[in-house]
Amino acid sequence: MSGDNEDFAGALIRLSLAVQHVFTDVSRAHDLTAQQALLMCALIDEPLGMAGLTDHLHIEKSTLTGLVDRVERRGYVRRTPDSCDRRVVKVDLTPAGRQAASEFHDALTKLLSDRLEGLPPKIRQQMRSAIGPVAMAYWQAVD
């Protein structure tokens, strides 16, 4: 690996660790584990099947089952049969889960924004412009 690539990868690792640190802090402040928060954020836009969630969260099916069980006991998610295929179970946020997920997401967004507020506008714009293509390159390599 060339020096530029190593520097870039190192910068991505440091950024990822910083974001994970904030994510974990905000999760704890909202009485959630990081995995519970990830699950709930994954469901904000739409219900997902268990297979889709294992792929999305990058965890084993048995781990996901336990995670969904714990979040379901808290009243944040519910399992529902898929209307097109009764063998498929979808996981959806309850109203309480949707509120908790939204509050978590808002707090995470605010804290990350606050922590980066001191960056010069030019750097903030460069980051905004670069993060999308970097993430897309990663996901294209994974597929």
Which DSSP category does 81 fall into?
A: E
The pLDDT profile of the chain, 143 residues, written as one tens digit per residue, is 567 778 888 988 999 999 999 999 999 999 999 999 999 999 999 999 998 999 889 999 999 999 999 999 999 999 998 788 778 889 999 999 999 999 999 999 999 999 989 999 999 899 889 888 888 887 777 66
Architecture of 3-142 per CATH? Orthogonal Bundle (1.10)
pTM (2 decimals)? 0.85
Domain boundary assignment for the chain: 3-142
Q: Tally Cβ neighbours within 10 Å of residue 27.
A: 20
Give the whole-angstrom CA distance, residue 57 versus residue 75.
Answer: 20
